Amino acid sequence: MEAQARTLEEEVRQLCELEQTKQTALLKQRLYSRVGQFLMGSLDMRHWWCTYPSLMVFMMRILELYPGSESVSVFYNRMAQQLGACSKCVDIYHASLPSVLVELEFEFTPESIKAFFVKLAELDATRIQRQLTDKTTGNEASVMASLSLYEVLSQRRLLSDFRVIRVLSRWVSTPLADVKANPSLGSLRGCAGLYQLLVSPDSAVRAWAQNMVQHFGNIQLTGNHDEDHYLLDVLEEWMYILENESFNKSVLTLDLKSTADLDNFLEPTNCVKTPTRPNLWSALDNVMQQMDVNSLETMLESFDTIPDLVFNVFNDAEPGKEQALTLVVR
């Protein structure tokens, strides 16, 4: 089985290096069929992405035909099942999408590439919805829910998709959303998206995220960016919004590394907006309340404009208007 996989991987590599002609297009069609048959016949069909990532990057192109072809539908449905059961497959799937983009650029027009990734975003949103509304009960349901949340909270693109947020808004009212009743949610600690949900446009989602942050307790920043990036990247985005007063605008308008590729996947109508000023300050306060003095100092060293921004909030306040901002005093 492994020898066959290596042979197919080499064929894919060689074929993708050839100039795109009618002949190579025909060869690719034949290779799609052979790779698909290999994957569907593999002994362990639960781990395509974490076992055969290069073959999966090659096969992603056939999703352009979904759901018109029955064989493509069967292939996608199997892939979707695996993404709902393996976190490593989830990580490699999302990490491989830039490679998919590079491969498509050799064959597709920019318009076709855009249409492909918009379609992929729709498929992902539908898949997440199906996983979070699955009628499975017991431990299996808890594990599926936590894995689905892990995927959403690990991917900025999914957090920016209003269709996903709408599903989360309903899910947070279910018993599986209670971390005390569903201990598997403990695996979400350290997910950057948990802090992003503190500024979600949906109040129920914000409340759930706040409860989770409080449940996990003390936030420790070490000063090592590699260790702290899960939170520092979120804070960098919040600082950008505060400094540029980019409140209640499409996330697609942000000029940040974390949002740079969102317009490849999301139409403006499906993209969430940046937080309002009160919601962002409330989220920042919630995060700071979970920090000790050393972590607060590390945060202020990384974002030295925070004191000025706080001062401006009070300086610009309307007379007699109550401010919702709480200062952390330790």
Kind and range of the H or E run holding 99: helix 87-105
Task: Look at residue 326 and tell me whether its pLDDT is greater than 60.
Answer: no
% pLDDT > 90, the chain: 60
CA distance 303 to 199: 19
Looking at residue 21, its pLDDT comes to 82
77-114 residue pLDDT tens: 999 999 999 999 999 999 999 999 988 888 889 999 99
- Least confident span in 28-42, 63-77, 90-104, 262-276: 63-77
Q: At 219, is the secondary structure helix, strand, or coil?
A: strand
- Mean pLDDT in the chain? 88
Whether the CB-CB separation of 241 and 280 falls below 8 Å is answered with: yes
pLDDT band at residue 329 using 50, 70 and 90 as cut-offs: very low
Longest dimension (CA), the chain: 75
For residue 158, give the nearest of 76, 271, 55 by alpha carbon.
Answer: 271
Whether the CB-CB separation of 235 and 302 falls below 8 Å is answered with: yes
Average pLDDT, integer, range 21-48 = 84
Looking at residue 103, its pLDDT comes to 86
Looking at residue 314, its pLDDT comes to 65
| Residue 219, strand partner residues | 291
Task: Look at residue 12 and tell me whether its pLDDT is greater than 60.
Answer: yes
Whether the CB-CB separation of 27 and 15 falls below 8 Å is answered with: yes
User: What is the 3-class SS of 287-304, one letter each residue?
Assistant: HHHCECHHHHHHHHHHCC
